[in-house]
Amino acid sequence: MTAIANWINKENDSNSIWTIGDTKISDISTNTNLSLESSKIFELQIICKDISKHPQRRDVYYSHSIGFAFAGSSLVGLNCYATLNTILSNLAGSGDEIPDLESISSIVSKVVDYYSKSICSNMNNFEALTYGFCHKTMKFKRFYISKKNILNDVIYCKEEIKDENLVYLIGDMKNEIFEEIKNKMILDEKDKNLKYWRTPLIVMSEIIASGKYQSIGGGTQLNIADFFGCKPYQSAGEINQV
């Protein structure tokens, strides 16, 4: 499977959302490695065009990007990413309307629900995160997408992660990784320096490089979302220093 950590980094009094994960893909039925260089954390482009104008003059009036990360079936995750990038980069409005991150996450949950049921019959566990700065609410937002039993049916739904101090984990070995991160953060909690805010980055990098958990490995992906958008800063390689 995989392991992905997502948290709000407040170093230097400048908030941003950091996400780090591994790049390993395994076949759980045969317990074999399929790839050590597969992306699971992506940047989704949000582009809105003004439909109040003539079709040939419909200029882009809003452009932004948010993060999308998944754990579970790579076939589901990559199809979701491809579809969402097409949908979200072709939004339309009157020129002053911008989408909020909660509405976007609702779209994400519907796309995840569709592909999870059509590709793997909803049998495998699949989780996803959407995150970034919402210009409509002027706040950082994070949403967790997973399947829930509602009225005798299994549906993928979004749930807002409201605790801004919570390091949120998806994938394998959540409890074990969370304990490692928590114990290390306690040591630097008094000063809350750069090392404190980057503790999940340090712990996850060590876990991925060490291969201590069979389903977690390969390289690392680091993605940072701030006021201006979401960008990859590290991909498929070990982070040797912070």
pLDDT tens across 166-184, in order? 999 999 999 999 999 999 9
Three-point CA angle 240, 216, 36, nearest 5°: 75
Tell me which residue of 186, 172, 232, 203 sits closest to 41, measured CA to CA. 232
32 within domain boundaries: yes
**% of the chain beyond a pLDDT of 90:** 68
pLDDT at 149: 84
107 within domain boundaries: yes
pLDDT at 123: 62
Give the tokens for residue 170. Answer: 């998806």
Mean pLDDT over residues 182-199, rounded? 89
> What is the distance, to the nearest Å, from the Cα of residue 190 to the centroid of all Cα atoms in its chain?
29
The whole domain housing 158 covers 3-230
pLDDT at 37: 84
Residue 207 identity: I
Convert 33-72 to b/e letters by CB count within 10 Å (16 or more is b): eeeeebbbbbbbbbebbbeeeeeeeeeebbebbbbbbbbb
pLDDT at 122: 58
Spell out where the chain has E strands.
3-9, 16-22, 25-27, 32-35, 41-50, 60-71, 91-93, 127-134, 139-150, 153-160, 168-171, 220-226, 229-235
Quote the mean pLDDT of the chain.
Answer: 90
**Total domains, the chain:** 1
Give the CATH number of the domain where residue 29 resides: 3.60.20.10
240 within domain boundaries: no
Element (H, E) at 194: helix 194-197
Half-sphere exposure of 45 (CA within 13 A, CB side): 13
235 within domain boundaries: no
241 within domain boundaries: no
Q: Are 159 and 146 in contact (CB under 8 A)?
A: yes
Tell me which residue of 71, 67, 84 sits closest to 22, measured CA to CA. 71
Residue that wins the pLDDT comparison between 93 and 174: 174
Is residue 1's pLDDT more than 90?
A: no
In sequence order, the β-bridge partners of residue 154 are 149
96 within domain boundaries: yes
**% of the chain beyond a pLDDT of 70:** 94
Tell me which residue of 218, 29, 70, 224 sits closest to 156, measured CA to CA. 70
Q: Per-residue pLDDT tens for 5-44?
A: 999 999 988 899 999 999 998 877 777 878 888 899 999 9
110 within domain boundaries: yes
Residue that wins the pLDDT comparison between 242 and 26: 26
pLDDT at 71: 95
97 within domain boundaries: yes
Q: Which residue has the tokens 């317990």?
A: 31
